[in-house]
Structure 1
Amino acid sequence: MLTGEIEKFVEEDQVYLDIASSIVPSKKVNAVIFTKQDCTIAGVEEVKSIFDYFGIEYSSSFTDGDNVGSGETIFRLYSEAASILCAERIILNFLGHLSGIATMTRSCVSRIENISSAKIACTRKTVPGIRRFEKAAVVAGGGDPHRFSLSDMVMIKDNHIKLMGLEEAIVAARKHSSFVQKVEVEVESEQDAVTAVELGADIIMLDNMDPGLIIRTLQTLKRKGLRDSVIIEASGGIHQGNLEEYAKTGVDVISMGSLVYDAGWIDVSLEILTDTI
């Protein structure tokens, strides 16, 4: 985590004087950070950067992606009491939020591992300013980060098609994109999926299709000899409750905004233990 990023988080939490932290005795203390529930941990490297910024000594045997049991100590800390108190909420927010995403992702990956080889991917539905941390948490949980920004690939979505038409949009995308960029096209019908592949799309996103329509679309692509030339992604309205149905369709990627926006926070706490001179 960059120093500038940390300073923004500190500024948000400590706009003016933190009187509560300023009145505690000037002494060094030991503290622990522990989880109150089973989880897949994420945010370890981010909080290490925050510890370094505040001059807090720390030790931990965990790395992102490790499974942590309820009650286990994630970090042991030693520092001035005021420094620990100033950093506490920022640290716990990152660990709780990112571990929640990693835990949700791990659950989804595990749910389909005996059904499909499809990748579980997140989307750009992230909290502004912390996307890279949230996507790193998805990776920690065994998922795929998908694209980080609009420049990672050329994605033609429904509104592009409304403005230009499917064929014109794909032709223009091919003309203006670099050879290193893939072109992905969002489609909502079987025929548009076929057309997109025939026009040279590298990836087609079957958007808001139910599993039955996805299966029929894949069968049509196979019959036309087009299935093996394209990556097929299912997206839209997919969650833990219907994930297995989509996994059984045979798609290559299942993208889920719910990995981030439906992920509950993990309950993580910090406790000061004993004073040390």
Structure 2
Amino acid sequence: MLTPKLVTDVVERALAEDCPWGDATVAASIPTDLDFQANLVAREPGLFAGGAVFGETFHQIDPDIHVTNLVPDGTAFSAGDVLASLSGPAAGILTGERVALNFIQRLSGIATLTSLFVAHIGSVDSQARIADTRKTTPGLRALEKHAVSAGGGINHRFSLSDAIMLKDNHLAALGATADSELTEAIQRVKATVGHTTSIIVEVDRLEQIEPVVAAGVTGILLDNFSVEDLRTGVQVINGRCTTEASGGVQLDTVADIATTGVDVISVGAITHGASSLDLGLDAS
């Protein structure tokens, strides 16, 4: 997913935004022949993500900047740990500093929050996995989903092109407002696509489960169900398709949700609600 071209393109856009016609401060104050050394230092504990875009930022600014000892994505760190070292032209390092930090602070925040959700469900007897959603920053989805993977989560569909997911408004638009109409409506959709296309259907009531399963779907998304209803829903489905819990999942509720037997717990908050970590670049 995180291809070299994608990394190159996203860094190009970020640098074009931040220094469209150069860095006025650096041009006025930093000699072109001045070298500089700095360390990337963690101000708080967390889990690292974004090494590829961090390195690419400085490479695009000036290929003579060397990034060394960069920790791998997924590395846990403590406050005060050195996560990378830089050396080379001071002008380039100072120009690229903010963009590079913006990337890794954001992505490390996502990886760290994801790892907390993963740890919470790891504390109970469950086979559930934490998944992201499409609630990502426009233009940064691939980076943010990569950060989820670095944090121990799994990726849901990357885009609308990847799978069919029929939600309440899709079903309403199809006229399937009654539970008795669900099976036929879903089967009409199935008839229009190939056999390899996944079909996931969102339900918000226990009564919808049986007619949806009867249509032969790949998975059911149990949206905003109580823990008790999730447990009942999983029993009704009984392994006939993948089960996914979604809707308002929080750190203090995710372990209980995991004990219901669902296969996947999708959490929009791990991307749209993650706080950037405090990482800084210190002269060495």
Using the size of structure 2 for normalisation, the TM-score is: 0.91
AA in 1 matched with 2:36: V
Q: Give, in angstroms, the shift of residue 61 of structure 1.
A: 4.6
Q: Give, in angstroms, the shift of residue 168 of structure 1.
A: 4.2
Of the three residues 139, 142, 159, the one matched with 1:132 is 142
Contact persistence 2:11–2:53 (CA under 8 A): no
AA in 2 matched with 1:204: I
| Paired residue secondary structure (1:263) | coil
AA in 2 matched with 1:250: G
Q: Summarize deviations over 1:14-72 as a string: whole Å, max 9, x none.
A: 13442111121221111111111111100011212222212221102511111111111
Moved more, 9-18 or 209-218: 9-18
- Structure 2 equivalent of residue 11 of structure 1: 16
Determine whether 1:270 maps to 2:275: no
CA distance in 1, matches of 2:46, 2:189: 42
Identity of aligned residues (%): 35
Determine whether 1:199 maps to 2:177: no
- Structure 2 equivalent of residue 150 of structure 1: 160
Q: Give, in angstroms, the shift of residue 137 of structure 1.
A: 0.2
CA distance in 1, matches of 2:47, 2:69: 15
- Structure 2 equivalent of residue 181 of structure 1: 197
CA distance in 2, matches of 1:7, 1:203: 38
Q: Give, in angstroms, the shift of residue 198 of structure 1.
A: 0.9
Tell me, which stretches of 5 or more residues in structure 1 are unaligned?
A: 222-226
Of the three residues 33, 38, 63, the one matched with 1:31 is 38
CA distance in 2, matches of 1:267, 1:100: 9
- Structure 2 equivalent of residue 159 of structure 1: 169
Moved more, 211-220 or 69-78: 211-220
* Matching of residues 102-113 of structure 1 within 5 Å: 102-113=111-122
AA in 2 matched with 1:233: E
AA in 2 matched with 1:102: A
Of the three residues 66, 69, 89, the one matched with 2:98 is 89
Of the three residues 244, 248, 255, the one matched with 2:255 is 244
CA distance in 2, matches of 1:43, 1:242: 29
| Paired residue secondary structure (1:120) | strand
Closer, same or farther in 2 for the Cα pair 1:78/1:70, shift >3 Å? Answer: same
CA distance in 2, matches of 1:102, 1:69: 14
AA in 2 matched with 1:183: I
- Structure 1 equivalent of residue 80 of structure 2: 71
Q: Summarize deviations over 1:211-244 as a string: whole Å, max 9, x none.
A: 11111222333xxxxx222100000111112111
| Paired residue secondary structure (1:228) | coil
Q: Give, in angstroms, the shift of residue 119 of structure 1.
A: 0.7
- Structure 2 equivalent of residue 224 of structure 1: none
Contact persistence 2:128–2:265 (CA under 8 A): yes
AA in 1 matched with 2:55: K
Determine whether 1:260 maps to 2:265: no
Moved more, 248-257 or 18-27: 18-27
AA in 2 matched with 1:201: V
Contact persistence 1:154–1:177 (CA under 8 A): no
The RMSD of aligned alpha carbons is: 1.3
Moved more, 158-167 or 122-131: 158-167
AA in 2 matched with 1:96: Q
Contact persistence 2:70–2:85 (CA under 8 A): no
Of the three residues 196, 199, 214, the one matched with 2:230 is 214
CA distance in 2, matches of 1:169, 1:82: 61
Contact persistence 2:128–2:264 (CA under 8 A): yes
Contact persistence 1:184–1:202 (CA under 8 A): yes
